[in-house]
């Protein structure tokens, strides 16, 4: 069970960090109005909720004016967090923001933890978990696909779908309960287990469809994860730098320079790509390099796409060995021949060839990556989809419970056992939208948010 929620007032900068014309400081919790009154030139009781009021923020001890600000009040539960909330619109200088925050903390508020405002909104029933995750995606969005992913979650498309499925399972449970509690009543004589089975089959089919959207949703939400792999000196770091348009990775003729993976994001024609530069694949006695190669294989397994690089001076035997390793992964891949300015072997005729030195082939390679993103995310506006491993795991648990129900039904198990499996399925579905019984899980989810959100 969740521990009783802390209503203590919290405060943080809700706008972007760094100098700016305007900074927004949010204060929320029990006593937030009284706390801000302690450092404002007007009482919060004089301010009409949801109307801006010009005021000064003062140093409580010296009465020095720190800044002229706009104050806006939101009375709970009609606020983002569901609690009494004050937003302070001040000038965006770092000194001003820090001094106002220090003043508010001195009056009894504490600094907000990452995602704590959104967490309070969830626990106070203002948001469900999928909407909270959608809000995070909206805040972090760098591309259209991230914006679409966040918007769909925040608007409740996944929540609506999941709650519809849960309602179907609950309907099946109700039929079973009627058969258990009132086996001889006339109203239950027409109820058959086949009716319950039909409901479960329909729900299982819909869950399968949702689970099949995970790859697309993950790409939309987090970007296409592309692992750059190949032998040492295949040009992985050079290609990373070329795609980023800046020098990020060390480039050296010495084999084995990259010993740990490097991850960087870039936008290609508005599409978010996560590039992973990995250690070169080879046999080595160097302990540290072996660790880097092990990490490379892990990144290859996690990637959405493997971009395999083979130098133009490689032999057909080298090419075949690399292709064998990539094929064993069972991942989408693009085989690319690098250093085409040196040579163009006959075995490379059907492959993408590039030269980072001359720029040859880079536009074609970029277009292939763009097409991969579009192919993965093309349907995200048309149907609900899942974007996180948490959502996928919850749906998988529900699916496993429904499978156990079907197996128990086939083995003629008692109605009580069948009802138990449906109850487990409803719990798993409920956890998708926010019925999470572990405080640690909630803390982990919201720790990925920005402070002030």
- pLDDT tens sequence across 72-97: 999 999 999 999 999 999 999 999 99
CB within 8 A of 225, min separation 6: which ones? 219, 274, 276, 302, 303, 304, 305
Domain shared by 342 and 391, yes or no:
no
Residue 448 lies in a domain: no
Domain shared by 225 and 369, yes or no:
yes
Considering 244-248, 273-277, 301-305, the range whose residues carry the highest mean pLDDT is 273-277
Residue 5 lies in a domain: no
Domain shared by 71 and 185, yes or no:
no
Where a domain ends, among 360, 377, 394?
Answer: 377
The 3 state secondary structure assigned to 260-320 is CCEEEEEEECCEEEEEEECCCCCCCCCHHHHHHHHHHHHHHHHCCEEEEEEECCCCHHHHH
Residue 73 lies in a domain: yes
Domain shared by 177 and 257, yes or no:
no
Residue 31 lies in a domain: yes
H or E segment at 62?
none
**What CA–CA distance (Å, rounded) separates 5 from 3?**
6
Residue 191 pLDDT exceeds 70: no
Q: What is the pLDDT of residues 315-363, one digit of tens each?
A: 888 778 777 877 877 888 888 888 888 878 878 778 888 988 898 889 9
Domain shared by 239 and 312, yes or no:
yes
Residue 4 lies in a domain: no
pTM of the model: 0.77
H or E segment at 185?
none
Domain shared by 231 and 204, yes or no:
no
Q: What is the pLDDT of residues 376-385, one digit of tens each?
A: 887 676 788 8
Average pLDDT over residues 400-412: 91
Residue 231 pLDDT exceeds 70: yes
Number of domains in the chain: 3
Percent of the residues in the chain that have a pLDDT greater than 90, as a whole number: 42
Is 40 in contact with 57 (CB distance < 8 Å)? Answer: yes
Where a domain ends, among 332, 350, 377?
Answer: 377
Domain shared by 224 and 360, yes or no:
yes
Residue 3 lies in a domain: no
Determine how many CB atoms are found less than 10 A away from the CB of residue 60: 12
Domain shared by 333 and 292, yes or no:
yes
Domain shared by 94 and 187, yes or no:
no
Residue 45 lies in a domain: yes
233 band by pLDDT with thresholds 50, 70 and 90: confident
Domain shared by 206 and 227, yes or no:
no
Where a domain ends, among 377, 404, 422?
Answer: 377
CATH code of residue 313: 3.40.50.300
Q: Which SS3 state, helix, strand or coil, does residue 130 take?
A: helix
Q: Which domain holds residue 201?
A: 140-213+384-433
Considering 228-237, 301-310, 388-397, the range whose residues carry the highest mean pLDDT is 388-397
Domain shared by 342 and 428, yes or no:
no
Residue 359 lies in a domain: yes
| pLDDT for the residue 442 | 66
CATH code of residue 120: 3.30.1360.120
Domain shared by 368 and 343, yes or no:
yes
CATH code of residue 394: 1.20.120.430
């Amino acid at each position: 069970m969740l521990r009783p929620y802390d209503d203590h007032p919290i405060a943080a900068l809700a706008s972007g960090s760094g100098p700016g014309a305007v900074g927004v400081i949010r204060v929320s919790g029990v006593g937030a109005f009284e706390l801000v009154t302690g450092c404002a030139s007007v009482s919060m009781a004089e301010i009409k909720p949801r109307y801006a009021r010009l005021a000064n923020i003062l140093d409580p001890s010296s009465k020095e004016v720190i800044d002229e600000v706009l104050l806006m009040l939101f009375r709970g539960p009609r606020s983002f967090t569901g609690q009494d909330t004050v937003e302070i619109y001040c000038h965006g200088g770092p000194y001003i923001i820090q001094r106002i925050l220090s003043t508010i903390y001195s009056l009894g508020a504490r600094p907000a933890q990452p995602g704590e405002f959104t967490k309070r909104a969830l626990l106070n029933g203002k948001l469900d978990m999928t909407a909270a995750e959608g809000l995070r995606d909206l805040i972090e969005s760098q591309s259209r696909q991230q914006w679409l992913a966040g918007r769909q979650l925040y608007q409740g498309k996944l929540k609506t779908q999941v709650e519809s499925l849960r309602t179907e399972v609950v309907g099946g449970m109700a039929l079973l309960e009627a058969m258990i509690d009132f086996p001889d009543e006339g109203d239950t004589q027409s109820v058959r287990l086949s009716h319950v089975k039909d409901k479960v089959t329909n729900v299982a089919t819909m869950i399968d469809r949702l689970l099949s959207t995970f790859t697309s949703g993950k790409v939309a939400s987090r970007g296409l994860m592309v692992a750059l792999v190949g032998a040492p000196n295949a040009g992985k770091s050079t290609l990373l730098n070329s795609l980023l348009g800046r020098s990020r990775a060390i480039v050296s003729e010495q084999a084995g320079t990259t010993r740990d993976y490097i991850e960087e994001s870039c936008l290609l024609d508005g599409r978010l790509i996560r590039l992973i530069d990995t250690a070169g694949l080879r046999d080595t006695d160097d302990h540290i390099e072996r660790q880097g190669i092990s990490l490379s294989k892990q990144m290859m397994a996690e990637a959405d796409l493997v971009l395999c690089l083979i130098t133009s001076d490689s032999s057909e035997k080298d090419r075949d060995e690399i292709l064998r390793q990539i094929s064993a992964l069972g991942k989408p891949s693009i085989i690319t021949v690098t250093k085409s300015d040196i040579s163009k072997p006959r075995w490379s005729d059907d492959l993408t060839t590039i030269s980072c030195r001359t720029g040859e082939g880079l536009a074609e390679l970029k277009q292939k990556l763009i097409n991969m993103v579009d192919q993965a995310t093309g349907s995200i506006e048309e149907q609900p989809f899942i974007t996180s491993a948490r959502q996928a795991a919850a749906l998988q648990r529900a699916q496993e419970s429904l499978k156990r129900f079907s197996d128990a039904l086939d083995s003629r198990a008692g109605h009580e056992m069948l009802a138990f499996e449906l109850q487990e399925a409803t719990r798993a579905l409920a956890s998708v939208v926010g019925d999470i019984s572990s405080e640690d899980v909630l803390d982990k989810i919201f720790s990925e948010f920005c402070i002030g959100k």
